Amino acid sequence: MKHYVLLGVVVVVLSACAKRPTAPVQGVGQVVTSSVMPLTSNGKFALGPHQGLLNTRQFYFRCNSTLLPKAAYAALDAHAQYLKADPSARIELQGFTSAKGSHEYNITVGERRANSVKDFMALHGARVEQLTTVSYGEEQAYPLSERKDAQDCRVDLIYTAA
């Protein structure tokens, strides 16, 4: 009899400790799935929601531009709506560019790209306090890879608190 009571207490405690469900995002379904995996080898995209458009975490720019491409609007709006629904969520927007310019130029371009994403998300319901930006300039993780420059001209969206 004591074992059944103990088992009941354990079940109640575990159910009370379960993570709260994330708030559903209006208009976001299983429409698009990104090629970005929820977990990369370094855990870069591990936090935050991963369903539908919310799985899209990399936003590519033309290499000679800091203008946010229209192709990014739907996914960024979904992230903004998620942030609006969950005020405790936080995002870091990491700007990157190709290695063609000087270090100062690359840092500036990465910053402008990250700010383009930040401005869009703030206009679509995210609070500015939930968004931080950082520029890494040219991509540092793959200096000897055969990646194309266009893959380095991007902003990565990283949930730092979900």
The CATH number for 111's domain is 3.30.1330.60
Q: 33-37, 68-72, 145-149: which has the minimum mean pLDDT? A: 33-37
Is residue 84 domain-resident?
A: yes
For residues 153 and 98, give the distance between their C-alpha atoms in angstroms, rounded to a whole number. Answer: 6
User: What's the domain range around 88?
Assistant: 25-161
Is residue 3 domain-resident?
A: no
Is residue 54 domain-resident?
A: yes
Is residue 1 domain-resident?
A: no
DSSP state of 1: -
The answer to whether 75 touches 69, Cβ cutoff 8 Å, is no
How many domains does the chain fold into?
1
Total-model pTM: 0.69
What band does 37 get if pLDDT is binned at 50, 70 and 90?
very low
- If one counts every other C-beta atom within 10 angstroms of the C-beta of residue 103, the result is 10
Q: What is the mean pLDDT of the chain?
A: 75
Is residue 70 domain-resident?
A: yes
Is residue 18 domain-resident?
A: no
Q: Rounded to whole angstroms, what are the CA distances from 26 to 44, 80, 85, 123? A: 26, 11, 10, 17
Q: Rg of the chain's alpha carbons, rounded to an integer?
A: 19
For residues 30 and 96, give the distance between their C-alpha atoms in angstroms, rounded to a whole number. Answer: 28
Tokens of 4: 């059944």
pLDDT digits (tens, 9 = 90+) for 73-82: 999 999 999 9
What is the average pLDDT across 90-112?
A: 91
For residues 29 and 61, give the distance between their C-alpha atoms in angstroms, rounded to a whole number. Answer: 25
Is residue 19 domain-resident?
A: no
Is residue 56 domain-resident?
A: yes
For residues 114 and 83, give the distance between their C-alpha atoms in angstroms, rounded to a whole number. Answer: 17
